[in-house]
């Protein structure tokens, strides 16, 4: 059977793809239902739509495509070669839409949904596992997609819709984000165990003005805090090494390659001494951020409430 081109097609072959999709999408399920039954009346009954509505939808679909999809035989129909080609793709598309719908419904389920949660590398060893353990005591089946990164990268992923919430520092101040301060974390001057300051318990940061520093790379929140504190202490740090992870920096300090301003470790590291900084006040704020105006699913809303309830005692003692 040779299908005929219809002269009354509503879209030209050069029409925009978005226009074609907008016209065709509502009619694809109708087409697939009739194709499966090869009977308009039976398909209308199964889909619970008036037969006249279904018939008009099929005619409009063929007009939009400019080809015959069905050969009519009284009350029954059969697919043309073009119809069989079209059906194979339509069934795949409908199956993918159904799969996507099931996935987003599952992610939004109050009891078993998913939260995409980002946090700083320095929060990963102790803080975040403790938070998740406490939260899941009351929400045992909520799932998490966890992302560790530096602050600016996480904020970009928030804006892209890839994260629901993130723990970051410094606490961002941007019109498209909502951020809440949760806690404060003291920073220490970390020196090698055989360093001239190692016998001390406290130190003014200015006493390290002549030292070589190992720091995180530019763009990391802790790097910006380090530069700002050194400037407040009256000097610009001389940077020997830049890295991406705090514990690597501790290893560099232990190897005698410099000193560093770092938050407390989850587990004490041999080969270094951690000194309290008395001046200037060395601390960083930890906050939670999310995209302004974006509706929360029930699991995200529950975890957000939990994080906000930890204000002032987010970090382990």
**pLDDT (0 to 100) of residue 125:** 87
- Of 11-15, 206-210, 257-261, 292-296, give the lowest mean pLDDT range: 11-15
Classify residue 2: in a domain, yes or no: no
Mean pLDDT within 35-60: 86
Domain limits at 89? Answer: 15-108
Q: Highest mean pLDDT range out of 5-9, 93-97, 98-102, 141-145?
A: 141-145
First and final C-alpha spacing in the chain: 78
In this structure, are 58 and 88 located in the same domain?
A: yes
Q: Is the confidence at residue 97, as pLDDT, over 50?
A: yes
How far is Cα of residue 32 from the mean position of the Cα atoms in its chain? Answer: 35
% of residues, the chain, pLDDT over 70: 92
As to burial, measured by CB atoms within 10 angstroms (0-12 exposed, 13-18 middle, 19+ buried), residue 155 is buried
Tell me which of 108, 133, 151 is where a domain ends.
Answer: 108
Classify residue 8: in a domain, yes or no: no
User: pLDDT tens-digit profile of 160-193?
Assistant: 999 999 999 999 999 999 999 999 999 999 999 9
Instruction: Tell me the average pLDDT of the chain.
Output: 89
User: pLDDT tens-digit profile of 273-286?
Assistant: 999 999 999 999 99
The Cα–Cα gap between 285 and 276 comes to: 17
**pLDDT (0 to 100) of residue 299:** 97
Residue 39's φ and ψ, nearest 5 degrees, are: -155, 115
In this structure, are 222 and 80 located in the same domain?
A: no
CATH code, domain carrying 132: 3.40.190.10
**pLDDT (0 to 100) of residue 20:** 54
The Cα–Cα gap between 265 and 259 comes to: 15
**pLDDT (0 to 100) of residue 15:** 46
Helices 40-47 and 51-65: crossing angle in degrees, nearest 10, is: 110
**pLDDT (0 to 100) of residue 24:** 62
């Amino acid at each position: 059977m040779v299908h005929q081109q219809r002269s009354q097609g509503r879209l030209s072959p050069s029409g925009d793809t978005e226009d074609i999709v907008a016209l065709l999408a509502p009619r694809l399920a109708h087409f697939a239902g009739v194709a499966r039954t090869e009977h308009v009346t039976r398909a209308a009954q199964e889909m619970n739509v008036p037969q006249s509505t279904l018939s008009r939808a099929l005619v409009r679909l063929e007009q939009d495509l400019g080809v015959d999809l069905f050969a009519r035989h009284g009350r029954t129909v059969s697919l043309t070669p073009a119809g069989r080609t079209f059906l194979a793709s339509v069934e795949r598309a409908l199956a993918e839409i159904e799969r996507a719908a099931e996935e987003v419904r599952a992610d939004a389920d109050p009891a078993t949904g998913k939260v995409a949660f980002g946090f700083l590398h320095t929060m990963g060893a102790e803080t975040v596992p403790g938070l998740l353990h406490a939260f899941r005591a009351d929400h045992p089946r909520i799932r998490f997609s966890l992302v560790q990164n530096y602050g600016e990268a996480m904020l970009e992923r928030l804006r892209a819709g890839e994260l629901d919430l993130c723990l970051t520092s410094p606490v961002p101040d941007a019109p498209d984000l909502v951020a809440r301060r949760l806690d404060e974390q003291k920073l220490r001057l970390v020196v090698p165990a055989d360093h001239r300051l190692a016998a001390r318990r406290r130190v003014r940061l200015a006493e390290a003005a002549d030292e070589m520093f190992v720091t995180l790379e530019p763009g990391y929140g802790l790097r910006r805090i380090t530069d700002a504190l050194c400037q407040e202490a009256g000097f610009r740090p001389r940077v020997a090494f830049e890295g991406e992870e705090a514990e690597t920096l501790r290893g560099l300090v232990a190897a005698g390659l410099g000193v560093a301003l770092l938050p407390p470790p989850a587990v004490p590291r041999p080969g270094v001494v951690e000194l309290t900084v008395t001046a200037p006040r060395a601390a960083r704020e930890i906050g939670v951020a999310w995209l302004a105006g974006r509706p929360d699913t029930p699991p995200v809303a529950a975890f957000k409430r939990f994080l906000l309830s930890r204000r002032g005692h987010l970090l382990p003692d």
